[in-house]
């Protein structure tokens, strides 16, 4: 799946999380690649290219996002024109991890009108 203006911020987060939940299906790191597609252009400039982004996701801080067991999504809230979606995970080892996704609606260019992830912060 790719970014599309019809996807709400919470949909974007769910798409990314479900892809990373099954990271290696149908191919190795497919889920990470999906998450990278939903990263905003400014986020990609800071975290890309994809191989660098994959290493970041696999480090200890973000690793709980890969192959997690369960996820609970809070209602999105708006902060200074961006949307925050809080996600609480039970990782593959049964440990809890919480992340805030910050998204913005893109203006102009290829992704005009699409909600995309600007940052993910572990709490």
C-beta neighbour count of 123 within 10 angstroms: 9
- Residue 9, classed as helix, strand or coil, is helix
Rounded Cα–Cα distance for residues 99 and 80 (Å): 19
Contact yes or no for 36/44 (Cβ under 8 A): yes
pLDDT by residue for the chain (123 residues), tens only, comes to 899 999 999 999 999 999 999 999 999 999 999 999 999 999 999 999 999 999 999 999 999 999 999 999 999 999 888 999 999 999 989 999 999 999 999 999 999 999 999 999 999
Topology annotation, domain 9-122: Nuclear Transport Factor 2; Chain: A, (3.10.450)
With 0-12 / 13-18 / 19 or more C-beta atoms within 10 angstroms meaning exposed / middle / buried, residue 58 is: middle
Q: Give this prediction's pTM.
A: 0.96
């Amino acid at each position: 799946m790719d970014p599309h203006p019809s996807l709400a911020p919470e949909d974007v987060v769910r798409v990314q999380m479900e892809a990373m939940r099954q990271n290696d299906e149908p191919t190795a790191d497919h889920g990470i690649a999906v998450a990278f597609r939903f990263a905003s252009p400014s986020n990609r400039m800071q975290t890309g290219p994809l191989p660098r982004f994959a290493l970041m996701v696999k480090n200890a801080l973000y690793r709980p996002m890969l192959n997690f067991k369960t996820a609970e999504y809070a209602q999105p809230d708006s902060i200074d024109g961006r949307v925050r979606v809080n996600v609480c995970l039970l990782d593959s080892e049964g440990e809890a991890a919480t992340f805030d996704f910050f998204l913005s609606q893109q203006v102009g260019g290829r992704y005009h009108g699409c909600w995309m992830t600007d940052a993910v912060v572990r709490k």
